[in-house]
Chains A and B, each alone.
Chain A
Amino acid sequence: MIAVNPVLAREMRSRMRGRRAAVLITFWLAFNGAVLAVVYLAAQNVAERQFGFAGFANTFSIGRGIYEWTLCGMLGLMLLIVPAQAAGAIAGERERQTLIPLQVTLLSPWRILVGKIGASVAFLVLLIVTGMPLLAVGYLVGGIAVADIVIGAGSVLVAGLLVAALCIAISTFARRVQSATVLCYALVLALSIGTLLAYGAYAVIDQSRGSDGADPPAALLLVNPVAFVSDIVGDEQLSDLPSPFDGLHSLVNQDRSNNEPFVVDGPVVFDAATGQPVIGDPFGGIAAQAPSDEGVPFWVLSGLALSSAAVCALSLATWRLRTPAETER
């Protein structure tokens, strides 16, 4: 029989006991359901405006829009939930004086951390799985495949896992849950908004120096979990609904696509209402080929950067929990 990490087993038991988990899952579903409802209604309005009915012709982009916005809601909420959940991992043990009894057992610091991360991941998986039916609405409308749902949910899960690992590492250095929570939210803000601000600042400085076009390096966004998910999910297809991911997707791929022509594969027709070109077969299929993807995709580099940061942070956390120590920890 496989021995379950005792910290994982205890964490799971504690997390699922009482109302907190049920309330959190309910809130998760309600929030993402609300996002889905708003996007669905918005898509219906767009369809009626363009075609006079919410019909068949544009379900491709509507389905995709619903999927992307719902996934975006999930990612946003996950980035809010993960710090709150992970900040107390070790700081909470320290605060309620249970860390010392744990440290004198045979559990190594690494096993303690793995147990804590495992519990966070298990809870994230639970949230994602409960949210899958919401993502599947996009599939019902059309425009996305089952694989898209799995890939999208998986990317949100991986982003959540890496952020959770960083937050748990922070938790080992904090004496109180409150300070750990503040630090974890600061980290999430720095990663998701701070890196974007740095990117923007770089662009402004670049332009003020008289460059032809602002061209900040995408490396600035490597540790941005939203950019990581955007590069996996965003596809830059022309759509009736604005995509939450396409902006970041195009930003991080700018380096690779700056000098490449946009290759059109299929008939080009013009939208009667807007006069904008509609590229590709409006009844489905590949609308346009993205610029050729030479080199390593951004999401791979971003995943590696976030993973490296998480591994480094967890190594420091392991050192921090190691006993006998020079000072009381």
Chain B
Amino acid sequence: MTATEIELITEPEADRPAVRLKGVTKVYGDLVAVDHLDLEVPKGSVFGLIGPNGAGKSTTFAIIATLLRQTSGTVEVLGVDPRHAARTVRRSLGYMPDVLGVYDDLTVGEYLRFFAGSYGIPGAAQNDTISGLLELVDLSIKHDSQVNTLSRGMKQRLSLARALVNDPELLILDEPASGLDPRARVELRMLLGQLRDMGKTIVISSHILAELTEMCTEVAILERGRLLASGTPAQIREQLGGAREVEARFADGTVERFEVDGIDAQHLLLRSLVDDPRRLIELRDLGTGLEDLFMRLTQGEVQ
């Protein structure tokens, strides 16, 4: 029995993370796509995986989604090793890849029925499942429309509905907002909020870092297949030294930037700004978002 298996037995199910990667490495020839990655995604969390192109996000997702085998390290998805029980994992997993693959010659209803059948949902239950999903993604009116007549945003929502067809516990979304217009992005964000409220664990990657700031309870930053930081945005900030930048604008038109480190310093700064005779009219936090953390951590290196 391996150490991981012993750990699995002794660990209470409720405490088990939805996903746990330990020293996971994936090598393609000379290319190390994922390099000794350690990651834990708590159940019920919205976990953001951030990194530049080629950071290893999609490879990590493919390993979690039972598509790829890691070269070394251990992977546990919903308490199961996907290498040995891929089918068990797939029952409770929804995966939306970064590319939009849909059958254009089917109607929306037929498309979802096909995937419902692929998950072994019996014919009688398929109608309820499909109508429920279409309502969730706001595509009920498109039930009989050909998929090729849908806009990109609608296709993205349909793809999300497809990933939800088996009512998964764990949802893996690889760049779900890519190529969407601002309105479609807002709709998608609201939809993911609904799913989070339904108690699903969501692992998401996106280039729109501001979106992840609003949605994610935890994030991990990857570069060149290596984990640079993980935790809540606040924890990562602390790991980086805690310094954040704020910008103050005064009534006389002057603008000043300050770096503050820790709660006490923040409090003192605010007090001094309020008492400033130039009369403070606006205060902006420049260093609270993931974008800032991301830029500070990564060098934009692509393998």
What residues of chain A have their CB less than 8 Å away from a CB belonging to chain B?
A: 1, 3-4, 6-7, 9-10, 13-14, 17-18, 96-107, 323-328
Residue of B nearest to A326 (CB): B69
Taking the nearest CB of chain B, how far is it from the CB of A270, in angstroms?
63
- Residues in B whose Cβ lies below 8 Å from that of A18: 105
- Residues in B whose Cβ lies below 8 Å from that of A103: 67
Q: Is B83 engaged at the interface, CB distance under 8 Å to the other chain?
A: yes
A1 to B124, CA, bound (A): 11
A72 to B67, CA, bound (A): 45
Q: Mark B41-85, 1 if CB is under 8 A from A, else 0.
A: 000000000000000000000110111110000000000001100
Cβ of A105 and Cβ of B90 under 8 Å apart? yes
Residue of B nearest to A94 (CB): B101
Q: List 5 A-B contacts (CB under 8 A).
A: A97-B101, A106-B87, A324-B68, A328-B67, A328-B68
A96 to B159, CA, bound (A): 14
- Residues in B whose Cβ lies below 8 Å from that of A324: 63, 66-69, 82-83, 86
- Residues in B whose Cβ lies below 8 Å from that of A104: 65-67, 90, 93, 95
Q: Is B118 engaged at the interface, CB distance under 8 Å to the other chain?
A: yes
Taking the nearest CB of chain B, how far is it from the CB of A6, in angstroms?
3
Residue of A nearest to B146 (CB): A17
Taking the nearest CB of chain B, how far is it from the CB of A110, in angstroms?
13
Interface of A is mostly: loop
Q: Is B100 engaged at the interface, CB distance under 8 Å to the other chain?
A: yes
Known pairs A96-B101, A101-B115 / 4 extra A-B pairs, C-beta < 8 Å? A3-B123, A101-B97, A324-B67, A324-B68
Cβ of B106 and Cβ of A13 under 8 Å apart? yes
- Residues in B whose Cβ lies below 8 Å from that of A328: 62, 67-68
- Residues in A whose Cβ lies below 8 Å from that of B117: 3-4, 6, 9
- Residues in B whose Cβ lies below 8 Å from that of A7: 118
Cβ of B68 and Cβ of A325 under 8 Å apart? yes
- Residues in B whose Cβ lies below 8 Å from that of A4: 117
- Residues in B whose Cβ lies below 8 Å from that of A101: 95, 97, 101, 115, 159, 162
Most buried by B among A18, A100, A101, A326: A101
Known: A6-B114, A6-B117, A106-B120. A100 touches B97 (CB 8 A): yes
Known: A6-B118, A101-B162, A106-B118. A325 touches B69 (CB 8 A): yes
Taking the nearest CB of chain B, how far is it from the CB of A36, in angstroms?
34
- Residues in B whose Cβ lies below 8 Å from that of A17: 105
Taking the nearest CB of chain B, how far is it from the CB of A106, in angstroms?
5
A6 to B101, CA, bound (A): 17
Residue of B nearest to A108 (CB): B87
Known: A323-B67, A324-B68, A324-B82. A10 touches B114 (CB 8 A): yes
Known: A13-B110, A324-B63, A324-B83. A98 touches B119 (CB 8 A): no
Residue of B nearest to A1 (CB): B123
- Residues in A whose Cβ lies below 8 Å from that of B66: 104, 323-324
- Residues in B whose Cβ lies below 8 Å from that of A106: 87, 90-91, 118-120
Cβ of A14 and Cβ of B103 under 8 Å apart? yes
A328 to B102, CA, bound (A): 19
Known: A97-B99, A103-B67, A106-B91. A9 touches B86 (CB 8 A): no
CB-CB contacts below 8 Å: B97-154 with A: 97, 99-106, 110, 114-115, 117-120, 122-123
Taking the nearest CB of chain A, how far is it from the CB of B63, in angstroms?
7
Residue of A nearest to B91 (CB): A106
Cβ of A98 and Cβ of B103 under 8 Å apart? yes
- Residues in A whose Cβ lies below 8 Å from that of B86: 323-324
A51 to B211, CA, bound (A): 89
- Residues in A whose Cβ lies below 8 Å from that of B91: 106
A98 to B86, CA, bound (A): 19
A119 to B145, CA, bound (A): 24
Residue of B nearest to A115 (CB): B118
- Residues in B whose Cβ lies below 8 Å from that of A98: 101-103
Q: Which 8 A-B pairs have the closest CB atoms?
A: A97-B101, A6-B117, A105-B118, A98-B101, A324-B69, A97-B99, A10-B114, A104-B95
